[in-house]
Amino acid sequence: MTSLAPSRFNPSRSTSLYGRSWRGPFYGGRGGHHQVKWTPDATYSARSAYNMFFQGSERFEGAKPIWKAWAPLKVKFFMWLAIRRRIWTADRRHRHGLTGSTTCRLCHQEDETAEHLLGGCTFTKQIWHSLLTTIGIQNPPSIADQDFMSWWILLRQQGLSMQQKKGLDTAVMLCL
């Protein structure tokens, strides 16, 4: 059976489930094995393996408002890219040699970046003001003082119910 295994395969160095904890080779140059305890009582379960997959990952504050909104999936995906600053704005196209100018085509005042399009542009500020006035949100936080995601999170903390937050999230995404 070992002849069918690749030549680099070494059964003694392969990872295994041993004694209800995961054992595997230690590749730090010292040899030996390390042991990862999945739960406090060193038991393995599918849930503990799933949770271990996310160890060390960072939580993204905007994930829940984006993916739980009532907007169409393509709008949610665009919003996800915009918050992550991965949309093809003029400055990004310029960095890749696709355009010569980085100026915003809406206001012609600043460079067109994702953050500028979401909240810094005078045209965008007028849209946000009209939307928030229509919805009935009194004294919204100023978008000029922070990035778009921080502004959106502050806007959601205006004493709204869960349904109203979901409606606000959807309206914000559909206005982009």
Q: Are 117 and 124 in contact (CB under 8 A)?
A: yes
Query: Which of 15, 30, 53 is where one domain is finished?
Result: 53
CB crowding 61-71: b at 16 or more within 10 Å, else e: ebeebbeebeb
49 lies in the same domain as 20: yes
Question: Model pTM?
Answer: 0.68
Q: Rounded to an integer, what distance in angstroms lies between the CA atom of residue 6 and that of residue 3?
A: 8
Indicate if the pLDDT at residue 23 is higher than 70: no
Residue 58 forms part of a structural domain: no
CA atoms within 13 A on the CB side of 81: 11
The pLDDT score that the predictor gives to residue 1 is 47
Q: Rounded to an integer, what distance in angstroms lies between the CA atom of residue 36 and that of residue 175?
A: 47
Q: How confident is the model at residue 50 (pLDDT cuts 50, 70, 90)?
A: confident
Residue 74 forms part of a structural domain: yes
49 lies in the same domain as 121: no
In which domain, by residue range, is 103 found? 63-175
CA atoms within 13 A on the CB side of 134: 11
* pLDDT: which is higher, 60 or 5: 60
* pLDDT: which is higher, 28 or 128: 128
Query: Which of 29, 53, 77 is where one domain is finished?
Result: 53
Q: Phi and psi dihedrals of 46, rounded to 5? A: -60, -35
Q: How do residues 51-99 score in pLDDT, each as one tens digit?
A: 888 888 888 888 999 999 999 999 999 999 999 889 999 999 999 999 8
